[in-house]
Amino acid sequence: MGFPYVATFIALLVGYTIYSAWARLDARYPIVGAIALFASAAASDGLGNFALAATLSEFSALLVGAGVLLLLVDAWRERHPGRSSGSAGPSAPHSEAADPPEQR
């Protein structure tokens, strides 16, 4: 019995997805990773390593799913800004308005 790579990847991805939603990281990061893994899967398939290509394709599909989930969370937050707790994660820095210029 070998090392459970898929189960480990899923556990790490779930942890990252929860942290990313809490810290409000860019939801497109997992999708960029999925594109890189799709390219790697295509290269390994072209080189004849079909088992690696299948595993990388599975990982990339999971990354796309996590990215879509994070995009849905972001869209929900934009539609319901009052429902998300302000203390749930780091907030954006508050910019103070500059003093208006004096009018004569």
- Is 4 inside any structural domain? no
- Is 57 inside any structural domain? yes
Q: Which long-range contacts (CB under 8 A, 24 or more apart) does 42-46 make?
A: none
pLDDT at 9 over 70: yes
Domain count, the chain: 1
- Is 79 inside any structural domain? no
Reported as a pLDDT band with limits 50, 70 and 90, residue 15 is very high
- Is 65 inside any structural domain? yes
pLDDT at 68 over 60: yes
For the chain, the average pLDDT equals 86
Please give the pLDDT value at position 57.
94
- Is 84 inside any structural domain? no
- Is 102 inside any structural domain? no
For residue 62, what are the domain limits?
Answer: 26-74
- Is 41 inside any structural domain? yes
What whole-number distance in Å separates Cα of residue 73 and Cα of residue 86? 15
Reported as a pLDDT band with limits 50, 70 and 90, residue 82 is confident
- 18: number of Cβ within 10 Å: 10
